[in-house]
Amino acid sequence: MSVTLTSLSKSYDGRVQVLDGLSTHIRTGEFVAILGASGCGKSTLLNLLARLEAPTGGSLEVPADGAAFMFQDASLLPWLTARGNVELALRLRGVPRAERRARAEELLDLVHLRDAAERRPHQLSGGMRQRAALARSLGQERQLLLMDEPFAALDAITCDLLHDELERVWRATGRTIVFVTHNVREAVRLGQRVILLSSRPGRIVAEWEVPEEIRRDPAAAATLAGTITERLREEIRHHGH
């Protein structure tokens, strides 16, 4: 199912306006990257999409079964193995015990982590922990996957590898992904569409379609990233004044 925002707004205590009048449509299976300066309401938007918070204005249509959420911190339970962490998501979803192990191993295989199934989080690298967290999110079997800067704490080489992994998993599963990031290059590398939010209150001030031929062409991707970066800087300068 698709996602539709219609004049969506969010404020706190009737005074602090965080989001103001967001309207957009996210197609089923689309990968959308959300950009904006710190404090523009990106994480608040994800909370609204996940139904963790209620909007104070406008309307929101999301899949009836909710959304899976992946955070910057993998948040794996340290006393469980990688497979155990994935199995936990399956257990909470009501998957019978007899089926959980095999399904968890399928999901770990999907993120190329089957060989590390018996390792605990402290035995995994940062990139491996994020792949385990992705497998756990997929185990929730939600069509909508929300990702809040999941690779921000990783080094550039690991990020590049995980970008490839995430794209492969996205194509294999057909999930609808809303991906929040501060990294313009990352947004262009992954998103079929990039949405830029203004500084608080967050409004949609620009959108860019990113055809696959641009994502595959380093020079074209760099040119688009430069355009988006300049627009983002304009928003930050505007907010500063």
Domain boundaries, the chain: 3-66+142-240, 76-141
pLDDT (0 to 100) of residue 229: 93
Q: Enter the pTM of the model.
A: 0.91
pLDDT-derived band at 1 (thresholds 50, 70, 90) equals low
Q: What is the pLDDT of residues 103-156, one digit of tens each?
A: 999 999 999 998 999 999 999 999 999 999 999 999 888 999 999 998 888 888
**Are the beta carbons of 45 and 34 closer than 8 angstroms?**
yes
Q: What is the mean pLDDT of the chain?
A: 90
Q: What is the pLDDT of residues 53-72, one digit of tens each?
A: 999 999 999 988 889 999 88
Closest CA to 107 of 138, 82, 67: 138
pLDDT-derived band at 161 (thresholds 50, 70, 90) equals confident
pLDDT (0 to 100) of residue 22: 92
pLDDT (0 to 100) of residue 239: 63
pLDDT (0 to 100) of residue 202: 86
Residue 230 three-state SS:
helix
Q: Above 50 in pLDDT, residue 92?
A: yes
Q: Above 70 in pLDDT, residue 44?
A: yes
**Are the beta carbons of 180 and 48 closer than 8 angstroms?**
no
pLDDT-derived band at 41 (thresholds 50, 70, 90) equals confident
- The 10 Å Cβ neighbour count of residue 70 is 24
Q: Give the bridge partners for 204, in sequence order.
A: 197
Q: Above 90 in pLDDT, residue 13?
A: no
Residue 108 three-state SS:
helix
pLDDT (0 to 100) of residue 94: 85
Separation CA 158–CA 161 (nearest Å):
5
Q: Above 80 in pLDDT, residue 165?
A: yes
Q: Above 80 in pLDDT, residue 100?
A: yes
pLDDT (0 to 100) of residue 93: 85
Number of residues that make up the chain: 241
pLDDT (0 to 100) of residue 241: 46
Give the mean pLDDT of 85-101. Answer: 89
Q: Given 3.20.20.70, 2.60.120.380, 3.30.1330.60, 3.40.50.300, which CATH number is that of 3-66+142-240? A: 3.40.50.300
